[in-house]
Amino acid sequence: MCGIFGGTGLSAAELDRALKALAWRGADDAGSVQLGEMHLACARLAISGQDCPQPIVLGDSGQSLGISFNGNLAGAQALRERLRFAGEEVATRNDAELPLRLWRVEGLAGLQRLEGQFAFALYDEAQRLLVLGRDAHGEKPLYLKRDEVGRLRFASSFAALCSGRRPQLSLAAMESFLLRGWLAPEHVPAEVELLPPGLLHCEQLSGESSRVPSRPDPVEASFEDLLLRAVERRLESDREVALFLSGGLDSAAIGLALRLLGLRVRCFSADFVQGREEGERGARIAHALGFEHERIELGPELLDELPRLLAQHGLPFGDASLLALFGLSRAVREQGVGVALLGDGGDELFGGYRRQRAWSWASRYGGWPLRLFANHGHGELGRLARAAARRDYAAFWEQARPRDVQRLLGRSASVPGPVYVAEEDPRLCDLRHYLPEDLCVKADLATLAAGVEGRAPLLDASLIRHAMGGAAPGFDGSSKLPLRRFLARHLPAALREGPKYGFGLPLQVWLRQSSFLDRCWERLPEHGAIDRGLLQRWTNELRAGDGRRAFLLWHAAALACSGALSSPAS
C-alpha cells in the first residue's frame, strides 16, 4: 500500500509537503518524477517487489509512461503471464508495473479489467493523457481537486491534497455525520471530489475529460471454487500474511479457504478490556482449522489515538471500530506481519445485517405501527421506525436520533430527507454506500496507519456477482447461508452459530471512565455550530449511566478531533 499525489504546475515545496502528509501510508520509500508537465509522487509501503521504488517510468523522454500506484492487484501472477504471452516482459514484482504494461498492450480496455484494491495515476507523456483509476468498491481512496486555474490535482488523502487545511463542512454535512458517523461523498468539502469507485477518469492536458467504468472479466463457478479463487488471488506478498479472526463467519470462511488451499497462517483476535473477549471464539476457530492463534488485548488508551488518525486522514470519521482495527494492526506489525486478511464484505453480500432482513419486513407491511417510535427510539427499534416512516433504508445507518442532532446544531439545522431510496434488495444499498463510505475508509486508515496492508478477499468481483445472484435476505432469520454451508463440513455447529462478532469495542464503558470527551470539547470553538454546553451535559449523563447518546457523543468527538469547521455558507 502507498500514498500517491500529483498533478501539473506543482512546485518542489508542494510535492515535499504532500509526501510528508502521506508518509503514514508508506514509510518504506518516497519519491517523485516529472514527465513533461505532469508530476507523479508516491510514499510507499513495500509489500511486493520491495527493491522497486515508485513512481515507475517506462520509455524514453517525451514518449514515457509513468505511474503512481496504491494497493494490490488480485491475480497479479496471472496478469504477468498474460503480458508475457503478449510479448511484454515484466521486470519486477511490484504491482505498479502491471498497469503500465497493460496500457502498452491493451490500452484502456486492459485497465478496465483490473481487479483488487487500488487507486492509481497513469500518465502517457506522448498523448498528454492522465488516467486515474479506483477499484470497484472503494477500498482505496483517490481525492481530486482543481486549482484556481483549473489544473487537476490528486491524492490518496484529503490532508495531502489540501496541505493540512481544516475541512469546512456544510451544516447538512455536519448533520449527516453526527447521525451516521461517516461522510457521504457528496458531503466532502465542495472543492474536493472523491473519485467514485469502479471508474477510470481520463483527462487530456488540453482540457478534455471522460470517465469509463471498470469491467472485470466474469468467472462462473461454484461458491466454494469462487471463494478459494478469491483468497488465493490475494496472497502474493514478500511479507508475512496473517488472518484477523473476529469470531464471525466471514473471517472463519477465509480461514477455511486458506486451509483448503494447503496454507497455514498465523491468526489474531482482539480482547477488549472491560468488554467482549472475541479472542476466545477466534482461538477455537483457529484450533479447529489447525492454525496458530494469538489473542491481543486492547484497552481504553486507544481513545487517545483518534486525533492523530484523523489528522492523517484529514476528514472526520466516527466508526469507533477504527480504533480496534488499528490497535490489532499495530500489534501484528510489531510481530513482523505485513498483510492482514479481513472479512469485510460478508455482511453486505450474504444478508448478515439484521437491518437487511428488517427492511424486507417493513417494506412488505408498511411498518405503520413502528412509526410511533420514529422520534423516540435510540436503538434498533427507533432506526426501524424511522426507516419505515421515511421509506428510506439509509435511516438504518443512523446511530443517533435526528431530534438530538437538531438540538445539538441549533434551530438552523433541519433533519435531511431521504438520501438513498433502497433498491428492492437492501444489500445493494449497503454495498454501494455503507461499504465504501464507512467500512473501506476504516480498513484503509486503520491498517495503513499501523504499517500493514489489509486485504478483503470477499470483495472479489466474481464472488460478488455470484452472491448478488441469490435471493435477497428475508425476515425468516436466515443469513449468510452460503458461508454456513461452506463451513458446515469443517467447523462444529457451536462455531457457526451465536451472536455477531466484529471488533466491537466497549465504547460506553471506556468513555464513561475517561476524560477523553472533555478534552475533545475543548477543541471546539466556543461559539461554533455545535452546542458545547449540551455536549458537556450529555457527557455528564453518560457518566451517570445514561448511554443512549454515546454514539452521538463519539461522532461529535470525531468532528472535534478532525478540526472540521462549519463552512461560511452554513
373 pLDDT above the threshold of 80: no
Confidence (pLDDT) at 500: 62
Distance, in Å, from the CA atom of 279 to the CA atom of 293, rounded to the nearest integer, reads 9
CA-CA-CA-CA dihedral for 455, 123, 101, 2, to nearest 10: -20
Q: 241: which strand partners?
A: 339
Contact (Cβ atoms closer than 8 angstroms) between residue 262 and residue 228: no
Give 139's DSSP letter.
Answer: S
Q: To the nearest whole percent, how much of the chain has pLDDT over 90?
A: 70
Confidence (pLDDT) at 567: 59
161 pLDDT band, cuts 50/70/90, is: very high
420 pLDDT above the threshold of 70: no
Distance, in Å, from the CA atom of 119 to the CA atom of 103, rounded to the nearest integer, reads 15
- Of 302, 248, 294, 308, the closest CA to residue 273 belongs to 302
Q: 119: which strand partners?
A: 70, 134
**Coil, helix or strand for 346?**
helix
366 pLDDT above the threshold of 80: no
367 pLDDT above the threshold of 70: no
Q: Which residue has the cell 466497549?
A: 506
522 pLDDT band, cuts 50/70/90, is: very high
In 215-341, which ranges are continuous DSSP H helix? 223-232, 249-260, 278-289, 306-313, 321-333
SS3 content of the chain, % helix, strand, coil (to 5): 45, 20, 40
- What's the whole-number mean pLDDT along residues 478-496? 85
428 pLDDT above the threshold of 80: yes
Q: 103 vs 131, 246, 546, 556, CA distance in Å?
A: 10, 40, 58, 45
- Residue type (1 letter), 471: A
Strands 199-204 and 129-134: antiparallel
Helix 532-543 to helix 550-562 angle (10° resolution) is: 130
Distance, in Å, from the CA atom of 226 to the CA atom of 358, rounded to the nearest integer, reads 29
Span 115-135, pLDDT tens digits = 999 999 999 999 999 999 999
Before 300, cis peptide (omega within 30)? no
How many angstroms separate the most distant Cα atoms in the chain? 71
- What's the whole-number mean pLDDT along residues 255-272? 96
- Higher pLDDT among residues 161 and 391, named by residue: 161
Span 103-114, pLDDT tens digits = 999 999 999 999
473 pLDDT band, cuts 50/70/90, is: low
Distance, in Å, from the CA atom of 159 to the CA atom of 563, rounded to the nearest integer, reads 11
Contact (Cβ atoms closer than 8 angstroms) between residue 477 and residue 360: no
Span 529-543, pLDDT tens digits = 899 999 999 999 999
388 pLDDT band, cuts 50/70/90, is: low
Span 268-300, pLDDT tens digits = 999 999 887 888 899 999 999 999 999 999 999
Q: What is the DSSP string of 352-420?
A: -SHHHHHHHHHHHHTTGGGGGGTTT--SHHHHHHHHHHHT-GGGGG--S-HHHHHHHH-TT------S-
Distance, in Å, from the CA atom of 112 to the CA atom of 133, rounded to the nearest integer, reads 9
Confidence (pLDDT) at 62: 84
CA-CA-CA-CA dihedral for 59, 64, 65, 69, to nearest 10: 90
568 pLDDT above the threshold of 70: no
Q: 143: which strand partners?
A: 155, 194
Confidence (pLDDT) at 475: 47
Confidence (pLDDT) at 314: 95
Confidence (pLDDT) at 297: 96
- Please give the domain boundaries of the chain with CATH numbers for all domains: 2-168+189-213 (3.60.20.10), 223-350+428-495 (3.40.50.620)
- What's the whole-number mean pLDDT along residues 195-218? 94
Span 447-458, pLDDT tens digits = 999 999 999 999
Question: From the CB of residue 478, how many other CB atoms can be counted at a distance below 10 Å?
Answer: 12
Q: How far apart are the first and last CA of the chain?
A: 37
478 pLDDT above the threshold of 60: yes
Contact (Cβ atoms closer than 8 angstroms) between residue 58 and residue 466: no
Q: 3: which strand partners?
A: 43
Distance, in Å, from the CA atom of 124 to the CA atom of 335, rounded to the nearest integer, reads 41
412 pLDDT above the threshold of 80: no
CA-CA-CA-CA dihedral for 481, 487, 488, 493, to nearest 10: -90
Confidence (pLDDT) at 418: 44
Question: From the CB of residue 48, how many other CB atoms can be counted at a distance below 10 Å?
Answer: 20
